[in-house]
A and B are shown apart, each in its own frame.
Chain A
Amino acid sequence: MSQSHTSAQKIASLARIELTDEESAKVQSEFDSILEYIHQLDEVEIPDGTEPFFGATESTNAVREDAVVPSFDREEILKNAPDSDGEFYRVPPVL
């Protein structure tokens, strides 16, 4: 749990969210109390062979046929973009 003291800034960069030092200190202290609460799970005894339950449905095999459905008009797709040239989305340089 105390690991979070060193991690907030790193986690934030992994999540692509900028945090000031002040904000990251606040996040860290909140993390500490939340994680302390969450770590009550450490005390739960897990019987051998307990499969994790990842989704609230355990049915299987939802598939579709390989059939082409007309795509959307490009205009419609690009309409909500903050920056596009009518053909491409545009983003600041990657490097």
Chain B
Amino acid sequence: MNATIDRDSIKFSDAKLIVGLEVHVQLKTDSKLFCGCSTKFGSDPNTQTCPVCTGMPGTLPVLNQKALALSIKTGLALNCEIARYTKWDRKNYFYPDLPKGYQISQFDKPVCGEGFVEVKVPKSDQPSRKIRLERAHLEEDAGKSIHDESGKGGVSRIDLNRTGTPLLEIVTKPNIRSAEEAKAFLTELKQILEYIAVSDCNMQEGSLRCDANVNLHFEIDGETIATPIVEIKNLNSFRAAERAITHESKRQFKQWKKSGESIHDAPKQTRGWDDSAQCTTPQREKEESADYRYFPDPDLIAVIITDEEIETAKNSLGELPASLRTTLQSEYGLNEYDSAVIVSAGRKMVDYFRALADGSGKDGKPNGKMASNWVGQEIMRYLNEHNATIEDYPVSAETLADLLSRIVGGEVDQTRGKEVLAEMLSSGCDVQSAFDKLGIVKVDSGDLDALCQQLIDENPAVIEEIKGGKLKAVGSLIGKARQINPNVNPGVLREAILKIIGI
């Protein structure tokens, strides 16, 4: 039937991109999923192993309770249904870094069922969309194989330190519609995982790994034509995921134009993302198509998850990023972009921001916009320059709130305020000491009046101009005033001069 379709008239823009993601998240436990070995990254090869995780005969797995608890927590944060009955199955295949010849995973009773993540593509007009999740299941990681790259066919070396580390595999439905959306999903997912502290999400260390299933749909004469599904492996950054999906969609389009091959003509293929060449390349097909011979692991027993456990997990979640962004907009008056910047910097940054905005507010109203500017400019710049996190920032939210309050109260202007902050950062002192060091004192009303009178007396021409309606001319007086007394607040001075000359 496909042969009758006129492919020549179909353009790339006619293709609907279909993407599903599989994300492997390493859960933050101290010990492995089924034995007591440490999960620490970067130790000497095979020093974090025992008879259980090296699959020695006669050994048996015992489930790490925390791994299960973290899975439940994650499921709740991703709006998943949590299973009341969950069990483990064996996925059988041979590989030298898979010691038992099977991976303990979950087949038909995963701990987390369907859920969703609400995703907004940044800098786009599209409203946010729910990316649907199929499931999330708890499984053990494999070890690491180090192959001989010389091409001379040398031995492969096996390190089993990572074997048995708990992984939560999060699987989306194929309802991601663009590479940008895939990236936005991954970014949001990572943020959620970091907020609920279930994973380090460190892509370099492999604690967050992603595969993408990609194909194209064409609506032709009321019929949907789909290209063969390709699974792209080795996506080691979100940018790589975005680029790989873009590249793969174009490649599939070209391929389809050439061959017309549809999903019915070819099995799922596996391709790898080559970051240096910026393209996907075919991976060697396995000897036989995957036949994992799943069956329930008879060494483990099922787990019943109670309402109480789910309630406890819910209570431990805290406010999630999406909700925090809304709060920052509705209660602190921030715009979408500013709220996203602060929330993406982590829960501690949000806490800092709120303390700063609340502490420098007036009449019970938080000082949101100003706090956001200071956080977004001064603090973020410092943290970037020092490669630090907000926990390392030397000035507490309370201290900085004191400074902002004084700026609001007219004791000091923004420009001098930044000098005060710089002084506090370099010497670690409080606001008042910084004021003292910089010679900042509040100009009292007597001094202010005297200064105004002096300016009026010494600059009759300027005063005439002002009286003639050229209010801008006040600016030149302010410049002169600050030479006389650097502490004078330009706004206050302006008001006072205008008042004295009766305008």
Q: What residues make up the interface of A, taking CB atoms closer than 8 Å to B? A: 10, 13-14, 16, 54-55, 57-72, 74, 77-78, 83, 85, 87-95
CB contacts under 8 Å to A, within B216-241, are none
B158 touches A64 (CB 8 A): no
User: B19-63: contact bitstring with A at CB < 8 Å (1 yes, 0 no)?
Assistant: 000000000011100011110000011111111001000000011
Interface SS majority for chain A:
loop
| Secondary structure class of chain B's binding surface, majority of residues | loop
Known: A68-B37, A71-B37, A74-B49. A90 touches B155 (CB 8 A): yes
Count of B residues near A, CB < 8 Å?
50
Is B46 within 8 A of A78, CB to CB?
yes
Q: A54-B296, A88-B46 are in contact. Are A64 and B94 (CB under 8 A)?
A: no
User: Which residue of the partner chain, among A13, A59, A63, A72, contacts B49 with CB atoms under 8 Å?
Assistant: A72
Q: Does B298 contact A (CB under 8 A)?
A: yes
**CB–CB A77/B31 < 8 A:** no
A-B contact pairs, 16 of them (CB 8 A): A60-B304, A61-B302, A62-B63, A64-B63, A66-B66, A69-B37, A71-B37, A71-B47, A71-B48, A77-B46, A78-B46, A83-B155, A89-B158, A92-B156, A93-B148, A94-B96
Choose one: A64, A87, A88; the contact of B64 (CB below 8 Å). A64
Cβ A87 vs Cβ B44 within 8 A: yes
How many angstroms between the C-alpha atoms of A9 and B288 in the bound complex?
A: 12
Report which of B38, B68, B158 forms a contact with A90, defined as CB distance below 8 A: B158
How far does the alpha carbon of A16 sit from the alpha carbon of B291 in the complex, in Å?
A: 13
- What's the Cα separation between A83 and B68 when bound, in Å? 36
Q: A77-B46, A95-B147 are in contact. Are A64 and B65 (CB under 8 A)?
A: yes
Whether A90 contacts B303 by the Cβ 8 Å rule is no
Contact of B63 among A57, A63, A83, A89 (CB under 8 A): A63
- Rounded to whole angstroms, the CA-CA distance of A10 and B289 in the bound complex is 11
CA distance A43 to B96 in the complex (A): 42
Q: Are B157 and A66 in contact (CB under 8 A)?
A: no
B46 smallest CB distance to A (angstroms): 5
Chain B residue at smallest Cβ distance from A78: B46
With both chains docked as a complex, state the minimum distance between the C-beta of A57 and any C-beta of chain B, in angstroms.
6
| Residues A90 and B156 in contact, CB atoms below 8 Å apart | yes
> Residue on B with the closest CB to A87?
B45
Chain B residues with Cβ below 8 Å from A63 are 62-65, 68, 303
